[in-house]
Amino acid sequence: MAVALQPPIDETGLQITEHTDGDIAYVEACGEVDFEGERAMRRVVERALSRGARSVIFDLRQVSYMDTGALKVLLSAKSRMVSLGGEVYVVVEDSLPKRVIYMARLQSALNVCGTVDEAFADIARRATHTRTVPLPPADAPSVPRSEIQPEA
């Protein structure tokens, strides 16, 4: 497994550290997610995608300020990750980021967790419940729907 550790990005009042392991990116933010911080978070999401991440865990437990602009970044990341078969998780404690997310009623959409371990457990659970159904060969004869019998 390749692990890429990026040095912290220090944007006026915000420090972001990111780790990528396979198809999971872990992003830890400390400080204030203001307009400049939102731009930094967008860049981090872009880098995670370019490295093959399909799921992102945003650890916002050390964030002291964020507004609805940060929610747009999180929702945009969610949309992109889900389109790739992945997910977005937001780790928060009782803090301003959690209140902002709950006031916007986005806790379910953003998979809010209390710990990083909860997020990893959900990723593992989803991986074990995801199964692929092989497609028939291109030259396989088609069967009318009326002839398909349910398995007993």
In DSSP notation, 2-30 reads: -EEEEEEEEETTEEEEEEEETTEEEEEEE
Give the lowest-confidence range in 69-73, 81-85, 103-107, 123-127.
123-127
- Which residues partner with 59 through β-bridges? 28, 91
Q: Give percent above pLDDT 70 in the chain.
A: 76
Mean pLDDT computed over 13-32: 93
> What's the whole-model pTM score?
0.77
N- to C-terminal Cα distance for the chain?
41
Two structure tokens written together for 61: 């437990």
Per residue in 99-122, pLDDT (tens digit) is 999 999 999 999 999 999 999 999
Domains of the chain with bracketed CATH: 3-128 (3.30.750.24)
Distances (CA, A) of 18 to 56, 115, 117: 10, 17, 17
